[in-house]
């Protein structure tokens, strides 16, 4: 069983992580693996000390009781300082990793507004004012029956703006090694750069209600040309403007404005 678990060439798989596919993932992976290695080292040392004490001070044939000691000041100081040292080291590397993972891009290449709604996701691609992309603002939305697809360009930074019209969700792409809560009334966001072309899974990491299991989505990381072509395909379907959630996910912004004026 141990050999089978170590069959992957990627060390991250040995510690339960999926393969990394973003620029922030290595920082999270290194912290995760380092924490497990530190925990294993502490565990091995403690097990060794316990077994040594059991064997060294076991009852002898002459029934002589080992010398009893009320306290051992140097040992007590050692047992007090070492945990603080371990915590300090883990805290230091946690802060370093956190700073890199939550680092903001000054000018991200793309901005995508993500709406987490009961019970799916809506993706608004804010490319209308982007001079580097020949496209307008378009959207893609999912439902309980339809799993949406989020398309991202490889090696280009993306800012995700997260919002929810109903309950708390959590936007999670496991291969990116990062997730962030989607909270009603709060504007959460994070930046990331996909680094691997391919298809990845996305899901809600917060138990958000009855159909939480339906809150999944696919992630397609493609070339810049394929990304621009995808946006144009959405525009050709009439999915232009902004979609805000379940009631308006299938109605473009301009159509909603006309409906509002008519009412």
Q: Is residue 3 part of a domain?
A: no
Q: Is residue 2 part of a domain?
A: no
- How do residues 68-83 score in pLDDT, each as one tens digit? 777 888 888 988 999 9
For residues 124 and 93, state if they share a domain: no
The partner residues of 117 in beta bridges, in order of sequence, read 120
Q: Is residue 1 part of a domain?
A: no
Is 50 exceeded by the pLDDT of residue 251? no
Pairing of strands 216-222, 149-153: parallel
Which residue range forms the structural domain that includes residue 45?
Answer: 11-60+71-101
| Mean predicted confidence (pLDDT) in 63-71 | 74
pTM to 2 decimal places:
0.78
Contact between 24 and 175 (Cβ < 8 Å): no
Farthest-apart Cα atoms in the chain, separation:
100
For residues 116 and 206, state if they share a domain: yes
For residues 90 and 146, state if they share a domain: no
Q: How confident is the model at residue 230 (pLDDT cuts 50, 70, 90)?
A: very high
For residues 19 and 134, state if they share a domain: no
For residues 237 and 141, state if they share a domain: yes
Is 60 exceeded by the pLDDT of residue 188? yes
Specify the pLDDT at position 256.
40
| Mean predicted confidence (pLDDT) in 11-22 | 71
CATH number, domain with residue 170: 2.60.40.420
Q: Is residue 259 part of a domain?
A: no
């Amino acid at each position: 069983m141990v050999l089978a678990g170590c069959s992957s060439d990627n060390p991250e798989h040995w510690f339960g992580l999926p393969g990394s596919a973003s620029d922030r993932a290595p920082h999270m992976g290194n912290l995760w693996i380092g924490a497990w290695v530190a925990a294993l080292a502490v565990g091995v040392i403690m097990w060794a000390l316990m077994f040594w004490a059991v064997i060294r001070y076991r009852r002898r044939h002459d029934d002589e009781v080992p010398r009893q000691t009320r306290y051992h000041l140097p040992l007590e100081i050692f047992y007090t300082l070492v945990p603080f040292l371990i915590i300090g080291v883990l805290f230091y590397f946690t802060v370093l990793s956190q700073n890199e993972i939550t680092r903001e891009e000054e000018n991200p290449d793309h901005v995508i507004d993500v709406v987490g709604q009961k019970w799916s996701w809506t993706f608004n691609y804010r490319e209308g004012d982007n001079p580097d992309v020949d496209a307008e603002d378009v959207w893609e939305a999912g439902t309980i029956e339809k799993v949406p697809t989020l398309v991202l360009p490889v090696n280009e930074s993306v800012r995700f703006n997260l919002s929810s019209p109903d309950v708390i969700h959590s936007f999670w792409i496991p291969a990116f090694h990062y997730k962030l809560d989607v909270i009603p009334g709060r504007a959460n966001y994070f930046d990331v750069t996909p680094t691997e072309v391919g298809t990845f899974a996305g899901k809600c990491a917060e138990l958000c209600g009855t159909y939480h299991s339906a809150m999944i989505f696919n992630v397609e990381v493609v070339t810049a040309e394929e990304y621009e072509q995808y946006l144009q395909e959405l525009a050709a379907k009439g999915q232009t403007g902004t979609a805000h959630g379940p009631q308006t996910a299938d109605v473009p912004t301009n159509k909603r404005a006309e409906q509002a004026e008519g009412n």
